[in-house]
Structure 1
Amino acid sequence: MKVKFPPLHTLRCFWVVSQTGSFKAAAEDLHITQAAVSQQIRQLEEWLGFQLFDRGHRQIEINATGKQLLPYVQKGFDSLAEGLQRLSGDPSPNVLHLSVLPSFASAWLLPRVPQFQEQHPDIYLQIDMDRDQPFNNDGKNDMGIRYGIDDFVGLHTHWLSYDTIFPVCHPLLYQGEEDVWSWLKRQYLLADQDPMDYHWNQFLISHDQEPSDYRRRLHVSDTWALTEMALAGQGVALVRRSICSDALEKGQLIMPIKSTFQSRYGYLLVAPEHHFKWPKVVAFSEWITQGIQKMPWYRL
C-alpha cells in the first residue's frame, strides 16, 4: 500500500520546535521567520487532521498526540542522518585510519596515543607507518600525517608546525678537540632522502662551506633510522628537533655545531576536504594541533 507523507519540511519544523520548545528558537535554528515556523506547523496539523501543540499566551507546549508522533519523526531523521553519513564515505565513524611517517610516529605520536584514547575512548585508532601517498584507490585511510610542503594535489591540508633542523652526533664522536669543520669532513653525513640531503647542502652553504668538500655521505630512507645511526656513533645526522629532542635532553646526542635553521618544510595533516568534516577527524585534528602547540619546537 502506498503511504502518503506530509511535506518533509513541515516534519522537520515539528521536530525542531519539539526540541527547542518555542517557535522563536526554532526559527533561529531553521534560519526562517517565526511566522514561517507557525505556518509550517499549522500546515502539518491541517494535513494530519489534529493539533500537535497546545498554544497558550506567548508559549506553546507539545500535546499528547505530538508526543506520540515525536519518536517516529526522531527515528526517521536519525536514520536519514546515518544514511547521509554513509554516503559521505565514512562507513566507520568510530575507527580512525591514520597513515603516519615512521619517524614522527615513533618519536612523537605513539608515546602519546594513550592520551588521545583516554580523551576519546569511542574512537579506535589504526595507524599505518609508511611514507607513501596516503590516499590512493583503496580508500583505506581517513587522514595522513606528512612532512613536506603544501603540494598535495586534490587534497586538503592543515598545517601543524614547521620544525628546526640541526646536526647531531654521539657525545664521544666529537669532544671539541679540533676545528669542527675539519672534523666534519671526515665524518659520514647522514641524511634522509630529499629533503634532508638538500638541507645538508643549505646548512653547509649558510656556514660558508662548499658542499662538494663533504663527500662522505650516507642516505637512508627514514629519519628515525638517522637518529638511531647517530646514537650508535655512525656519523653526523641532520635531523628535525621533533625527532631527536628526547635524546638531546638525556645527553644521548649532542649538537657539535651550535647552529639551527628552520626548514620551509613542515608537518601537516592531509586528507580529502570532506574528511575534515567527520567528527572523528575533527577530534583527532584538534587533539594533535593542541599537543604540538605545546612542544618547544612548534613553529608556524
Structure 2
Amino acid sequence: MRRKIPSTTALICFEASARHESFTKAAQELSLTQGAVCRQVGGLEVFLNVELFRRSRRGVKLTEAGLSYSRQVAAQLDAVERDTLSVMRQQGANVIELAVVPTFGTQWLLPRLKDFQQRHPDVTVNLTNRTRPFLFADTPFDAAVYFGDGDWSGTQAHRLMGENPVPVCSPALLHGLPALEAQRIAELPLLQQSTRPYAWRQWFASAGLSVEGDMTGPRYELFSMLSQAAIHQMGIALIPPFLIQRELEEGRLVVANRHVLSSHKAYYLMIPERKVQSASLVAFRDWLTEQSHAYIKTASAN
C-alpha cells in the first residue's frame, strides 16, 4: 500500500523555511533558488490541503497549523539524520549499543572500559543512559546494565554485583568523631535517592531503629547528585562505595557508619535472547562479569 507521505525535498524545504520564517534564507541554506523553495512548500500545502504560511509583502509567517507541523517534521528529520549517520558510522564496524544506568556507567564502567578496548580493539561500545527497563525491539540497544531483580522479559540476565550502600557525608559533619551512631544519623538531614525512596527506612530498620521522618529530605535522581550534595554538607546520603571510590580516597566523603544496607536487588547485564549468541556480546559479557567478580573480591578483602 502506498504511504501518504510528502516528498523528502518538500519537507526539508518546509522545515528550513519554518525555522527561518523566510523562503529566501531557506533557499540560501539549501543552495536552491527562492522559486524552487516556494514551489516545494506550495506543493506541500496542496498535498496536505492546509495553509502552512501566511504570505504578505513583508514576508511569510507560520500559521498555527504550520507551526505545529514544523515541530513534528523537524523532530522526524532529526531522527532520520541520526539513524543515517549511525548506519554510516557502523558500516563494517562491530558495535555494541549499551543502555546503562548513569552513575554506574560513569563511575564504575567507564574507568574500566579501556581494558575491554585493548582486549577487543575490533569492538566499539557506545553508552547511553537509561534508568528503567524497556522493550529491546523498540530501541537500537543490544544490551543493558540496570539495577533491579533481574526479571526482564525476553532477556538473559547476568548478575554483576549488589549495591550495598552505606551512610556517607562530608568529614565536617563528623566533628572529629571516627563514626556516627545510627541515632545521631537520624538527627541529620537525610538525602534521598528518588529511585530508592525506602532506602533510609530500610537502613534504619536493619539497624534496629524506627525513625520518624526517615523519608523526608531533598530528593535527587542520581547517585552523582547525592554525592555532590553530601560533599557540600547538605546532609548524609546512602551510596554504594564503588560509585564514590575517588571521593572516598580523596577524603571529600567519609563513611559515617559501617552498617551496610543489603538488598536482593543488584546490577545486571541484560542481553535479549535473540542476541545471546553474538560474539561481540559474549566477549563483553565475559569481560564485564570478570571485572565485577574481581571488584567484589578486592572489596571483600578490604
Instruction: Give the TM interval when normalised to the shorter protein.
Output: 0.5 to 0.7
Pairing 1:1-300 to 2, within 5 Å after superposition: 94-175=94-175, 180-181=181-182, 183-194=184-195, 196-214=196-214, 216-295=216-295, 296-297=298-299
Cα drift, residue 269 of structure 1: 0.7
Q: Residues 214 and 198 of structure 1: is their aligned pair in 2 closer, same or farther, counting only changes over 3 Å?
A: closer
Report the Cα offset of residue 255 of structure 1.
1.5
2:219 alignment partner AA:
H
Write out per-residue CA displacement over residues 109-129 of structure 1, whole angstroms, 9 at most, x where no aligned residue: 111222111111101111102
In structure 2, give the amino acid aligned to 1:258. Answer: R
Encode CA deviations 1:203-225: one digit per residue, 9 max, x unaligned: 10122221324464222111222
Q: How many residues align?
A: 209
CA distance in 2, matches of 1:122, 1:211: 53
Q: Structure 1 residues 198 and 91 mapped into 2: Cα distance closer, same or farther (>3 Å)? A: farther
Q: SS of the residue aligned with 1:217?
A: coil
1:179 Cα deviation after fit: 6.7
Note the residue ranges of structure 2 that are not aligned, 5 or more in a row.
1-89
Gaps of 5+ in 1: 1-89
1:118-148: CA deviations, max 9, x gaps? 1111011111022132434433000000111
Identity of aligned residues (%): 26
Amino acid at match of 1:96: I
1:49-93 CA distance string (max 9 Å, x none):
xxxxxxxxxxxxxxxxxxxxxxxxxxxxxxxxxxxxxxxxx9977
AA paired with 1:187?
L
AA paired with 1:158? H
2:189 partner amino acid: Y
Change (3 A) 1:200 1:133: same
Residues 257-290 of structure 1: CA deviation (Å, up to 9, x unaligned) = 2211322111101121131210110111111111
Which residue identity is paired with 1:193?
S
| 3-state SS of paired residue (1:157) | strand
2:215 & 2:192 partners in 1: Cα distance? Answer: 12
What's the TM-score once normalised by structure 2's chain length? 0.63
CA distance in 2: counterparts of 1:209 and 1:276, whole angstroms = 45
**Per-residue deviation, 1:189:** 1.2
2:53 aligns with none
Give yes or no for contact 2:198–2:215 (8 Å, CA) kept in 1: no
Q: Is the 8 A contact 1:103 1:243 kept in 2?
A: yes
CA contact (8 A) 1:135 1:141 kept: no
- Asked which structure has the greater CA Rg, the reply is 1
- Aligned alpha-carbon RMSD (Å): 2.6
**2:245 alignment partner, SS class:** helix
Q: Which runs of 4+ in 1 moved over 6 A?
A: 90-93
Query: 1: distance between equivalents of 2:157 and 2:258?
Result: 33
Normalising by structure 1, report the TM-score. 0.63
C-alpha distance 274-215 of structure 1, shift in aligned 2 (>3 A): closer
Q: CA offset at residue 187 of structure 1? A: 2.3
Distance in 2, matches of 1:151 and 1:215, equals: 27
Who is 1:41 aligned against? Answer: none
